[in-house]
Amino acid sequence: MVSTVTSEISRGARPFSEYAALAAGEIRERTRAAKHALGARAVILGHHYQRESVIEFADFRGDSFKLSQLAAARGEADWIVFCGVHFMAESADVLRQPHQTVILPDMKAGCSMADMASMDDVEEAWERLTAAHGDTLLPITYMNSTAALKAFCGERGGVVCTSSNAAAVLEWAWERKQRVFFFPDQHLGRNTAFAMGVPLEHMAEWEYRAEDLDRINAACFRPETRIVLWRGFCSVHTRFTRVQVDEVRAADPAVKILVHPECPFDVVRAADLAGSTEFIIEQVRRAAPGTHWAIGTEINLVHRLALEHPEQAIHSLQKNVCPCATMNRIDPAHLLWALENLAAGHVVNPVRVPETIRGGARVALDRMLALKGSGAVARASLAKD
């Protein structure tokens, strides 16, 4: 796999070691000053899962694809500072304008789900699956994947999806081919396909870590299989369980349970609503005062919604939930380090997708742009067992 996130630091840049021990108040004041000095030359993007001390400086906040589009539309900006994780910065680099440079404040901000699908493993699976199914298979990669895998899909007639438009993308794919190879998140694929009427017996999981791939993954080669799901997952969303749903309902039968479709199948089936991050935000915004929500997604977003909507009772579905560890590598000190160096004319941690990958990735993303989705995976009528 080609790495696009490096520790490249331009000559003369101040090292991060000068920032690591700064007091929070000083970091905040200096960040405000650096942002002001850069003006329109830099645009700061903050993913919904970022901590408040980072998101307060974002020019835009949103999901990864929305942020990439917004940044590309800001032609006056030379630098795109992406407070997210590496696959998000890669997508921004694919969509950016020629004069723009994407910067990731901390190169260690990765994604465990994206790391579960390597190019070598996906290519091996594709060869075995197409040998069995012939030209009846179309690849779909979730946005939470490397640019290389987006290019893999683009070069094979496939497409990228988000949690907002996964149903529209699957419908598009099945209009063209009999089967879909969906990676890297098994839960989004399963939950979306099931809500569209595909029975579980027509789905199969691909275990990429097995030694005997054909035997372990035998169900993937069955003629009736319509979707092959990569056995990847989000380390945050898989922590939500059906037991937690039952406990919350027992404590308050009037509670509304709202979860992300990266959650396990039984959690989504037991919830009242399931949908993308933007969908979750919109449901809370539209709800009546006094509504009680138990939300199954990253804790920074849940806390932010609770702060912004004090007229409602909002808490996490899981007690003692931890934030996304890799997303939280983007801390105020790293943001300040990136901004002050930019203000001084030094670029740190640029993200550059190789030209050999960029074209195919852009094809897959452009195919997705033509599709629309509601963002809802499970409505109340579908979500109950």
Q: Percentage of the chain with pLDDT > 90?
A: 85
Residues 6+ apart with CB under 8 A from 196: 167, 170, 171
pLDDT at 68: 79
pLDDT at 374: 47
**Rg for the chain (alpha carbons), in Å?**
21
What is the enclosing helix (H) or strand (E) of 83? Answer: strand 79-83
Residues 6+ apart with CB under 8 A from 250: none
What is the enclosing helix (H) or strand (E) of 268? Answer: helix 265-270
pLDDT at 12: 81
Closest CA to 50 of 37, 42, 32, 62: 62
pLDDT at 104: 97
pLDDT at 383: 41
Residues in the chain: 385
pLDDT at 150: 97
Cβ atoms of residues 149 and 119 within 8 Å? yes
Cβ atoms of residues 270 and 385 within 8 Å? yes
Q: Could you tell me the pLDDT band of residue 4, with boundaries at 50, 70 and 90?
A: low
Kindly list the distances between the CA atom of residue 68 and the CA atoms of 57, 92, 220, 367, in Å, as whole numbers in the listed order: 17, 4, 34, 16
Q: Could you tell me the pLDDT band of residue 70, with boundaries at 50, 70 and 90?
A: confident
Least trusted range by pLDDT, from 55-69, 181-195, 342-356: 55-69
From CA 209, how far away is CA 191, in angstroms rounded? 23
Full-model pTM: 0.91
From first CA to last CA, the distance across the chain in angstroms is: 41
From CA 42, how far away is CA 76, in angstroms rounded? 8
DSSP codes, 101-140:
EEE-S-TT---HHHHT--HHHHHHHHHHHHHHH-TTEEEE
In which residue are the tokens 């974002």 written? 58
Average pLDDT of the segment spanning 327-348: 96
Is 70 exceeded by the pLDDT of residue 82?
A: yes
What is the enclosing helix (H) or strand (E) of 269? Answer: helix 265-270
From CA 292, how far away is CA 11, in angstroms rounded? 53
Q: Which residues pair with 199 in a beta bridge?
A: none
Domains (range + CATH), the chain: 16-110+326-353 (3.40.50.10800), 114-235+362-369 (no CATH), 237-323 (3.40.50.10800)
pLDDT at 304: 95
Q: Could you tell me the pLDDT band of residue 309, with boundaries at 50, 70 and 90?
A: very high
Helices (H) and strands (E) in the chain, counts: 17, 15
Average pLDDT of the segment spanning 107-113: 93
From CA 235, how far away is CA 216, in angstroms rounded? 23
Q: For 149-178, what is each residue's pLDDT tens digit?
A: 999 999 999 999 999 999 999 999 999 999
Is 50 exceeded by the pLDDT of residue 378?
A: no
Average pLDDT of the segment spanning 218-222: 97
From CA 56, how far away is CA 39, in angstroms rounded? 16
